[in-house]
Homo-oligomer: A and B are copies of this chain.
Amino acid sequence: MSFSAELSPWLGRLTMRSRLDDAEQHAILQLPIHTIHVRANADFVRLDESVDHVSVVAEGIVGRFDQTAEGTRQITALHLPGDAADLHSVALPRARSALQALTPATILRVSHASLRSAMAQYPAITEAFWRDGIVDQAVQSQWMVNLGRRDAKARIAHLLCEVACRTGAVADNHAEFSLPVTQQHLSEVTGLTAVHVNRTLRALREENLIHAEGRQLTILDFASLARVADFTAGYLQMAVAFGEPERIVALPQGEPS
């Protein structure tokens, strides 16, 4: 249990979507954490488990899973460093999905108890948590469009565009970022077969839209890839770039929302 500033990437994510004053931000940073390391492919939250803490991703990539009775899996969300993977568990502690590290990962556990006391003291924090989930839900909606209405090439392209934006790697029609996940994992995100993911990636490579070097992925022409993907970044609510952060509860100074 420590009281460091390791939660600052998460705070950055929250303030990207909600406006928090100094005291509220301080309350977040002060939250006690318990750091754990998770091996690749290890579940660290299991289905129907009752959890008493939230998992904030510090390093690595985390997937939220659901599965069919036969065991084929669907990844319903991808969590990158700075994301809280199951903030909703504060309000509904029984996990309806499993969380798995797709790569070796470092997780910061924040107890529900401490989060609840922060929420009780600062209503704007409750609101920020709620809003965080809403944005996640908007991402899920886009994924549903992906799964239901786009072909394999667009699905993969869309995913790559999204991850590039979420990692902040896009600049000047170009993006380079690490995506150390398996093609099997990509298939579980996109509702395809690992084989088909492989072929689709090759097609994108042959069109000179992307370049894959090991786990390093380069988007050579972001605009064209976004066109193939039918991607627009608005739904990601990267507030710094796309609009005003939100707040309902009045700021202490009396500033309106």
- Name A235's contact: one of B91, B96, B120, B144 (CB within 8 Å): B96
Please state if A134 and B74 are interface contacts (CB–CB under 8 Å).
Answer: no
Chain B residues closer than 8 Å to A141, beta-carbon distance:
64, 66, 76, 96-97, 140
Interface residues of A in 208-239 (CB under 8 A from B): 230, 234-235, 237
Known: A76-B145, A144-B76. A130 touches B126 (CB 8 A): yes
A243 → B minimal CB distance (Å): 8
* B91 & A130 in contact (Cβ 8 Å cutoff): yes
Determine how close the nearest CB of chain B comes to the CB of A102; give it in whole angstroms.
Answer: 16
Asked if A182 is at the interface (CB within 8 A of a chain B CB), the reply is: no
Q: Determine the interface band of chain A, counting residues with CB < 8 A from chain B.
A: 35 or more
A163-209, CB < 8 A from B:
190-191
Residues of chain B within 8 A of A145, CB atoms compared: 66-68, 74, 76
* Contact partners of A235 in chain B: CB under 8 A: 96
Of A91, A142, A230, the most chain B CB neighbours within 10 A belong to A91
A2 at the interface (CB under 8 A from B): no
Complex CA distance for A235 and B67, rounded to whole angstroms: 13
Chain B hits for A88, CB < 8 A? 134, 137
Judge whether A90 and B147 touch: CB under 8 Å: no
CB-defined contacts of A92 to chain B, threshold 8 Å: 131, 134-135, 237, 246
Considering the complex, give the chain B residue whose CB is closest to the CB of A138: B96
* Complex: chain B residue closest to A190, CB-CB: B148
Residues of A within 8 A of B (CB): 48, 64, 66-70, 72-74, 76, 88, 90-93, 96-97, 116, 119-120, 123, 126-127, 129-131, 133-138, 140-145, 147-150, 190-191, 230, 234-235, 237, 246, 248-249
Q: Which 7 A-B pairs have the closest CB atoms?
A: A148-B191, A147-B147, A130-B130, A76-B141, A74-B145, A74-B148, A88-B134
